[in-house]
Amino acid sequence: MISLKDYLTAGETTISNLLLQNYTKLGLTTNEFMLWLQLYSAHQAGEDFPDITVIAQNMSGTVETIYETLNNLVGKGFVILETALDDQGRKSDRYDLLPAFEKISIIQEQQRVKKEEETTLEAQKKMLRAFEQEFGRPLSPIEYQKIGYWVEEDHYSPELIQLALQEAVLNQAYNFKYIETVLQSWEKKNIRSKVQVEEEQRRRKQILLQKEEQNQTEELPKVSLYNWLERKDSDAE
């Protein structure tokens, strides 16, 4: 049974779950990744050029097999063999393992872009369904083209276009010209999100309320301040 002292002395290897979960997506086999982990473990222990013989024993493989796997890692760009000079001018070799982390960052960016594209596509489908539902009919090819122009050329988000559609419906203006006018108006005011649209609607509503209050004040009839009771009292005397 291993002692606590031996356990603590052996140290630990900390690795991101991103590598564990995505190494096959990076193009690594399990044996290649296990060798990379052996090199990474040695690096964390302060040994940048570990003995391949020891690694072969750890992995229960032959030295020839480990070298072949190492060549695969170098060929795929996951490990770089570097030679450096120390202060005394002596050469020393080391394995640079940083490329693996750079590759995982690329994978993460690709996944982010893919998810963003899928989200955008779903938003576009939702927007098109909203148009057909509000117009009560399928859209014509020209109308599809117009919406595509708003998205691709004017860079209006599907959410913003759908909000402009709602604005048109509220004003009973079931035409693309009105919707485009709303979008252009928002663009001039730098309105690009649902929150900004809601803020603009509240602002317009407040202005209308203020105008109504002002009109009601102006329409009030002028009432004489003459006290008729005082006049009657004086006449009676």
* 178 pLDDT higher than 80: yes
CA distances to 144, 163, 209, 219, 227 from 205, in Å: 32, 17, 6, 21, 41
Which run of H or of E encompasses 80? strand 80-85
31: closest CA among 1, 72, 64, 89? 72
pLDDT digits (tens, 9 = 90+) for 81-113: 999 877 787 888 999 999 999 999 998 898 899
Mean of pLDDT values over 156-180: 94
* 234 pLDDT higher than 60: no
- E strands along 128-215, which residues? none
Residue type present at position 50: P
Q: State both tokens at 230.
A: 């005082």
Mean of pLDDT values over 10-37: 89
d(CA 220, CA 179): 39
User: Which residues does 115 contact at the CB level (< 8 Å), separation at least 6?
Assistant: none
Domains of the chain: 10-96 (1.10.10.10), 116-213 (1.10.10.630)
Question: pLDDT band for position 36 (50/70/90)?
Answer: very high
Mean of pLDDT values over 155-159: 93
pLDDT digits (tens, 9 = 90+) for 188-201: 999 998 899 999 88
| pTM, rounded to two decimals | 0.57
